[in-house]
Structure 1
Amino acid sequence: MGIATTTAVSLVGLDGHMVQVQAHLSATVPGFTVVGLPDAALSESRDRVRAAVTSTGLTWPVRKITVNLSPAGLRKRGSGYDLAVAVSVLAGAGEIPAGQVDRVVHIGELGLDGRVHPVRGVLPAVAAAVEAGFERVVVAAADAEEARLVPGASVVGVASLAEAVVLHGGDDKLVRGVEPVRKEPAGTSRRSAGDLSDVVGQSDARRALEIAAAGGHHLFLVGPPGAGKTMLASRLPGILPDLTDTEAVEVTAVHSVAGSFDPAGGLIRRPPYEDPHHTATAAAVIGGGSGIPRPGAVTRAHRGVLFLDEAAEFRPSVLETLRQPLERGELTVHRSGGSVRYPARFQMVLAANPCPCGQAIGKGLRCTCTPMMRRRYLGRLSGPLLDRVDLQVDVLPVDPAERAAGPGESTAVVAQRVLAARQAARDRLWGTGWTTNAEIPGAWLRERVEPGGKIDQIVTTALSSGLLSLRGVDRVLRVAWTLADLHGKSSPGPDEVNEAVALRGGPRA
């Protein structure tokens, strides 16, 4: 009888759980059983492991083999356990010296030829292993570069099961030249977003874009076709500052699980940008899939920008799913196979025409839509959703004078002001756990408003007139703090609050 144990990692969302892979071999009727709540892909590992072992040149043990995945109450999914299962079985059969693999984490899928294939989510899995006290990690050769991004991990990449056996003291005659499995290119290459100086005119919209970047606020742009809404939105990531070390690890882990991370460039340091098409389903936007859901666009946009072009064309059911992540900065998705929690602290930018024909601007003399058509069109964006958007501005057609004035400020110039404002907010919020004005809770904001003062009178008047809701008051105060940071002030005054109220009422005013 032989018993051997090694370790694997189970990912539930971005949270990694250590799993003991225990192999028990007994001299009874031959068989191979995997227990411990495996899914279909993991149950099929029996055939992959057996074929990989024989292809490696080893003799498959003719015994009753039981592999237990502990804790047994945690459901395990995916093919990333294959390497750990194979190593534990071979250790139990004596092909690997006993005790060599107890404190080693193995992550990888096996092919029938014995080669080790890469899997998704290696970075958060290795990070969880290091946090749990495991330093040695064996992964597929194609995943080694990504795994080494985790500080404190001693990573070895293996191209085949034979290399893993030799690594742990097995027969070195097994190793032969094997072409490592290559990792599929992550995502698609995105063309350069361009410079903010490409935008002609639109001083008000550019101002709103800068404020949004400085405070992490959501933005709604309404205007006719060709006014520059999409161009403005695509320039937003360029004026955002680089991610901090903590944020870079968060974002990289998300994209590792989503399968859209290229480890060749190291940790993701620039804010991500997601722009799903208006025909996207709710599962594509917030996450979905059978069993445990995969990250959607809102999670891939974590610490970056989620741009919804032609927002009024999105299904209302899709737009309403955004309310939870907009309010909480995270997303909980429930499916039949379980529930997962993903981070989703992003900046949302909505862009829409004012009506189906897009000409209901100013007096709307060129508009061919009926009043009912206009009302229904923007009515798809519900009041509760828009109440969570801090900045709502009209993007009017560029007049000849603006066009003749030439290009405006470049991305680099605006980015410097945004960086200075963000740093002012970080210094003020040091030790609170918040990093941008958009994250500040309402209680903190209201404590700093003098009862009966000018600022209190402004927001009370707006609240009494119905221009603002209670949530809207908090959001106006957040924008006012951002304006103060941009103006170099220690706190907002009546001018900043009035401007914040004006910026919030644009398209609806």
Structure 2
Amino acid sequence: MVAKTFGSAVSGVDANLITIEVNVGQGTSFYMVGLPDSAVKESQQRVESALKYFNYRMPRQKVVINLAPADIRKEGSAYDLPIAMGILQASEQVDFPELDRYVIMGELSLDGYLRPIKGVLPIAIEARKRGFKGFILPLENAKEASIVNNLDIIGVETLQQAADFLMGELEIEPTITDTREIFYHSLDENEFDFADVQGQENIKRAMEIAAAGGHNVIMIGPPGAGKTMLAKRLPSILPPLSLQEALETTKIHSVAGKLGKNGSLLAQRPFRSPHHTISDVALVGGGGNPQPGEISLAHNGVLFLDELPEFKRTVLEVMRQPLEERKVTISRAKISVDYPANFMLIASMNPCPCGYYNHPEKECVCGPGIVQRYLNKVSGPLLDRIDLHVEVTPVKFDEMTSTRKSESSKSIRERVIQGREKQKQRFQNNPEVYCNAMMPSHMVKEICQINEAGKALLKTAMERLGLSARAYDRILKVARTIADIAGSDTIKVEHLAEAIQYRSLDREGWAG
């Protein structure tokens, strides 16, 4: 007898429907075909042990399992449960009248209990799209899958529970989550607040501009000046995620298995801070079984690279293309996978190996040329893609001990949202562009027009700093953002002057 069950294979951040066909006939062999990897092939032992634990039997006949379509590689251990259900049906040990109406996924332990799996959210989205009645999966993944409405999410703990439910002998209430309530309830939950930061008003201003326009930032300053503390507070002033952005972000974290036990919709913008020993594959994604990297996990949020020159050069250079295209393509001989990577890059670095070059009080002990060599660890093309270069100076004692309250993230965020609203109206006919930092060059010429006085100022800056054409575009984009925050329809000379001052590392002789 032939039985069919349905599972799914995740490719990138999307899922493909997989039909699991089980045929039990004359013979004694066990065959599994359809490009299964080692983890899928090993399911025979897990399934046999789980079936025996609940007094079912593994057929001592010829068992052929086909995972269709056969040209898509099947990876992981999540096919255990649908294979077990198919074997029970095909060997006529049970009768599942609604087997073809459910997508079934789950990893079996030897005692028949189910372990959580990755990529549940895109699988649930695909199941609803294909018109299935429900999705049977491990109980620990049920909350994550229930983000998708109009689909019965049946969380089970054991193989026996799944079998009883499909036979109609056990009633299991579908897991239901009010996605909008979770989303809107969690929007304003931020662990860090700019109200905790004393002084550093110029850095806060740069962060506000960066958040309003989606610009990349690099902070240069001595150790202990507050670079990391300021970076951690940036997500608290970014505009709240839209529901669509939250779903995109949650899908990526689901595929990477980062949602954790009973994970649900991510309502906060992600903040990723990888260590400087990270490999290029871990940063951009990839591997034998392609997985999203840190830049994709930071999608719609912030990627913070602390101690930028300590990262391997190859690691930093692979970011150049994703910073421009806002996606990363992982190509292999037989597969090509796209992961979204629309993130804000926030980097920090010391000005020299000892950390005290240009310090107002402490003396730098680095020898001649060492400072420049240290800065050269970060390539010019990468710095060109960073809009704001900000010098961070140590906080003075009077500012640290001041009782004056600093401005809170909430009030800064209001100005940021106002600036983003102007950009939303400006780019309403361009769905792929929704903030100033994303403007292509042809749009910069149209939107970031400046008067004669502004042109003269920018010409002088270009000649003195030796700026590239990309830096020219980025200055205009930052100036446009500053004008948006100020509520101005035109870019004024003062907006342009402030944007130019955020190109510190382009200044000739900055490092002696």
Judged with a 3 Å threshold, the aligned counterparts in structure 2 of structure 1 residues 495 and 140 are, in CA distance, closer, same or farther, namely same
Q: What is the aligned partner in structure 1 of residue 392 from structure 2?
A: 395
The within-5 A match list for 1:434-449 is 434-449=433-448
TM-aligned CA distance change 1:464 to 1:508, over 3 Å: closer
CA contact (8 A) 1:393 1:507 kept: no
Show CA shifts across 1:107-136 (max 9, x none).
Answer: 111111112221011112211222233341
**CA-CA distance at 1:320 after TM superposition:** 1.1
Letter in 2 for 1:284: A
CA shift digits 1:231-288 (9 cap, x unpaired): 1111111111221001100111111122221475631111111111222222332234
CA offsets 1:119-174 (integer angstroms, 9 cap, x no match): 0111122112222333411111111111111122211111111122122227x49x
* Distance in structure 1 (CA, Å) of the matches to 2:429 and 2:419: 18
CA offsets, 1:206-232, max 9 Å, x none?
110111111111101001112111111
Q: Say if 1:52 and 1:113, in contact at 8 Å, map to a contact too.
A: yes
Residue 40 of structure 2 corresponds to which residue in structure 1? Answer: 42
3-state SS of paired residue (1:168): helix
Map 1:89-488 to 2 at 5 A: 89-97=87-95, 100-169=98-167, 172=169, 193-262=191-260, 264=262, 266-289=264-287, 291-334=288-331, 338-361=335-358, 366-399=363-396, 402-403=399-400, 406-433=404-431, 434-450=433-449, 453-465=452-464, 467-488=466-487
Q: CA deviation at 1:362?
A: 6.0
Letter in 2 for 1:438: A
8 Å contact from structure 2 (residues 190, 236) kept in 1: no
SS of alignment partner, residue 369 of structure 2: helix
The answer for the alignment partner of 1:489 in structure 2 is 488
Between 49-58 and 227-236, report the one with greater CA deviation: 49-58
Structure 2: 5+ residue runs without aligned partners?
Answer: 172-188
Q: Which amino acid aligns with 1:82?
A: D
Measure, in 1, the Cα distance between the counterparts of 2:420 and 2:294.
Answer: 25
Name the CA distance, whole Å, in 1 between partners of 2:494 and 2:146: 51
Q: How big is the shift at 1:90?
A: 1.7
Structure 2 CA distance for aligned equivalents of residues 207 and 354 of structure 1: 21
Instruction: Indicate which of 62, 65, 70 corresponds to 2:63.
Output: 65
- Are the counterparts in 2 of residues 127 and 150 from structure 1 also a CA contact under 8 Å? yes
Tell me the equivalent position of 2:182: none
Pick closer, same or farther for the CA change 1:451–1:142 going to 2, 3 Å: closer
Q: Size of the alignment, in residue pairs?
A: 489
Distance 2:494 2:222 in 1: 30
State the secondary structure of the residue aligned to 1:91: helix
**Superposition deviation, residue 74 in structure 1:** 0.7
Give the 3 Å change call, closer, same or farther, for CA 33–502 of structure 1 in structure 2: same
Counterpart code for 2:487: G
CA contact (8 A) 1:274 1:306 kept: yes
Look up the equivalent residue of 2:415 and give its one-letter code. R
Report the residue type matching 1:301 in the other structure.
A
Task: Using the aligned pairs only, state the percent identity.
Answer: 40
User: How many Å separate the matches in 2 of 1:478 and 1:507?
Assistant: 17
Change (3 A) 1:249 1:478: same
Which letter does structure 2 place at the counterpart of 1:125? I
Q: TM-score, normalised by structure 1?
A: 0.90
Deviation at 1:463, TM superposition (A): 4.2
Structure 1 CA distance for aligned equivalents of residues 77 and 367 of structure 2: 56
CA contact 1:145–1:263 (8 Å) conserved in 2: no
Which amino acid is the alignment partner of residue 494 of structure 1?
V
Provide the C-alpha distance between the structure 2 equivalents of 1:76 and 1:92, rounded to a whole number of angstroms.
21
Structure 1 residue 455, shift from structure 2 partner: 4.5
Task: Decide whether the 8 Å contact of 2:108 with 2:114 is kept in 1.
Answer: yes
Paired residues of 1:24 and 1:66 also in contact (CA < 8 A): yes
Compared with structure 1, are the counterparts of its residues 438 and 6 closer, same or farther at alpha carbon in structure 2 (3 Å cutoff)? same
**Counterpart of 1:46 in 2: which secondary structure?**
helix
SS in 1 for 2:7: strand
1:295-314: per-residue Cα shift (whole Å, max 9, x none)?
A: 22212111111111111111
TM-score by length of structure 2 reads 0.89
Maintained 8 Å contact 2:140/2:261: no
Letter in 1 for 2:289: I
Q: Is the 8 A contact 2:112 2:158 kept in 1?
A: yes
Counterpart residue identity of residue 499, structure 1 = E
Cα deviation for residue 502 of structure 1 reads: 1.8
Preserved contact between residue 141 and residue 263 of structure 2 (Cα < 8 Å)? no
Local SS of the residue matching 1:371: coil
**Alpha-carbon distance between aligned partners in 2 of 1:104 and 1:62, rounded to the nearest angstrom:** 27
Deviation at 1:20, TM superposition (A): 0.9
Output the CA distance in 1 between the equivalents of 2:190 and 2:244: 26
**Would the aligned equivalents of 1:390 and 1:479 in 2 still touch at CA under 8 Å?**
yes
Q: How many Å separate the matches in 1 of 2:360 and 2:239?
A: 39
Q: Which amino acid is the alignment partner of residue 14 of structure 2?
A: D
The DSSP-based 3-state class of the residue aligned with 2:223 is: coil
Structure 1 unaligned regions, length at least 5: 176-190
Structure 1 residue 352, shift from structure 2 partner: 0.7
Q: CA deviation at 1:400?
A: 5.2
Q: Distance in 2 between matches of 1:15 and 1:459?
A: 45
| Residues 337 and 82 (structure 1), Cα distance of their counterparts in 2 relative to 1, 3 Å cut | farther
In structure 1, what is the equivalent of residue 179 of structure 2? none
Partner Cα distance (1:145, 1:479) in 2: 41
Q: Kindly indicate whether the alpha-carbon contact (under 8 Å) linking 1:292 and 1:340 is maintained by their aligned counterparts in 2.
A: no
Q: Partner letter of residue 372 of structure 2?
A: R
Amino acid of the residue matched to residue 238 of structure 2? L
8 Å Cα contact 1:22/1:88 also seen in 2:
yes
CA distance in 1, matches of 2:379, 2:216: 15
Against the structure 1 CA distance between its residues 334 and 364, is the aligned structure 2 distance closer, same or farther, given a 3 Å change threshold? farther
